[in-house]
Amino acid sequence: YGDYNQKIDYVFKIVLIGDSAVGKSQLLARFARNEFSVESKATIGVEFQTKTLVIDHKTVKAQIWDTAGQERYRAVTSAYYRGAVGAMLVYDMTKRQSFDHMTRWLEELRGHADKNIVIMLVGNKSDLGSLRAVPTEDAQEFAQRESLFFMETSALEATNVEPAFLTVLTEIYRIIS
């Protein structure tokens, strides 16, 4: 596996947040294991997955936390956010409501997390383009207003998933180094 005795220079905790069924768990499965399962069950048990990568000759372990089916507003506990240096704020681009809820997820995130947290707004399911309910410009405008990074992804087709996580990790690295 090649991972033994590897010296880890940094561990970055990243949290996934957003409404239920927007694709958070599948984005994580795609990034951490390059997997996607059509019949994804509601997340139970597993708290986080890790992926180790090299940024600027340093070994960075990304520890990515997924909500254990606690996606109702205010149900995510403060322990979930504690120590997070990055966040993926995920909506489903075919579900307008999941985008409209970004405001309160962001409010909740900012209420709990470090003020320097790096945040990526993620519009997932770009493979379902014909069902799009959120124009790219609306999301861009929101991201700009709130100083967030923004990308549209497809966990299914593996589009932009790695770039989305890498952008966040690289920015965190830039801030702390």
Site of interaction with ligand GDP (CB under 6 A): 20-26, 38, 40, 43, 124-125, 127-128, 154-156
For ligand GDP, the closer of residues 91 and 142 by Cβ is: 91
> Residue 171 Cβ, how far from ligand GDP at the closest point, in Å?
23
> Residue 104 Cβ, how far from ligand GDP at the closest point, in Å?
16
Closest residue by beta carbon to Mg ion: 25
Query: How crowded is the C-beta side of 81, counted as CA atoms within 13 Å?
Result: 22
Closest residue by beta carbon to ligand GDP: 23
Site of interaction with Mg ion (CB under 5 A): 24-25, 43
For ligand GDP, the closer of residues 55 and 64 by Cβ is: 64
> Residue 11 Cβ, how far from ligand GDP at the closest point, in Å?
23
